[in-house]
Copies of this chain bind each other. A is one copy, B any other.
Amino acid sequence: MNNINKKIITVLLVDDHPMVQGGLSACLSFYDDIKIVGSTTDGKEALNKALTLKPDVILMDISMPLMNGIDATEIIIDQIKETKILIFSMHDNPEFVKSAIQAGASGYILKDITAEEVYFAIKAVASGKTHFSSSIAKMLLDNPISRHENDKLTTREQVILSHIAQGYSSKEIAKILTISFRTVEAHRRNMKIKLDIHSLAELIRYAVNHGIIEDNKCI
């Protein structure tokens, strides 16, 4: 192969699973136009390393201990415009994908793909293009990012929702937060309207799926 004219792409790995990092390093070592210049296991550290290393591409996991990949992406994109971020996640949850795109990621690939696909995805985003796993692309077609997608819940609403999801009634929440139960009900109503949700069940599931309450808390 003719690699003489190829510019070497520098890559920073961000993944909290040592196994995944090991696998990626091993798989990408076969390509001589890609150089892994660093790796870290958390979004917070990723930001520091990104600032010093200025990699062409960051291969970023989403679920990480201190700072998640979405938040890290948002901050890094904001501070280093030359760096492209390729999300490397095992989750094909539409919410994650949309958040990643809104945070400024150039691509989103799933962890069940082959090394070749990772390679092509890195090449694509490094050259300024976007790249999504075929299943992700298909999913985005089925779940278009709506106009109100950004209307996330306010801090107060999240507090209310976390209490609701824990099983407290409006009255109990009112007592806990020392506000009127009318206010609690107003928040309930507003959340349902802005999320286009029409039942308590969907609201609870929203809370679980969006990390407003931990999956296995109390159950």
- Are A204 and B201 in contact, CB atoms less than 8 angstroms apart? yes
Q: A18-B115, A23-B21 are in contact. Are A205 and B201 (CB under 8 A)?
A: no
Question: Restricting to A179-219, which residues have a CB under 8 Å from any CB of B?
Answer: 197-202, 204-206, 208-209, 213, 215-219
Q: A20-B23, A23-B22 are in contact. Are A213 and B219 (CB under 8 A)?
A: no
A16 contacts chain B at the CB level, 8 A cutoff: yes
Across the interface, A165 reaches (CB within 8 A) one of B21, B90, B95, B201, namely: B201
- Are A166 and B201 in contact, CB atoms less than 8 angstroms apart? yes
A164 contacts chain B at the CB level, 8 A cutoff: yes
Q: Please report the C-alpha to C-alpha distance between residue A183 and residue B164 in the assembled complex, in whole angstroms.
A: 26
Q: A23-B23, A218-B202 are in contact. Are A17 and B90 (CB under 8 A)?
A: yes
Give min CB distance, A67 to chain B, whole Å.
16
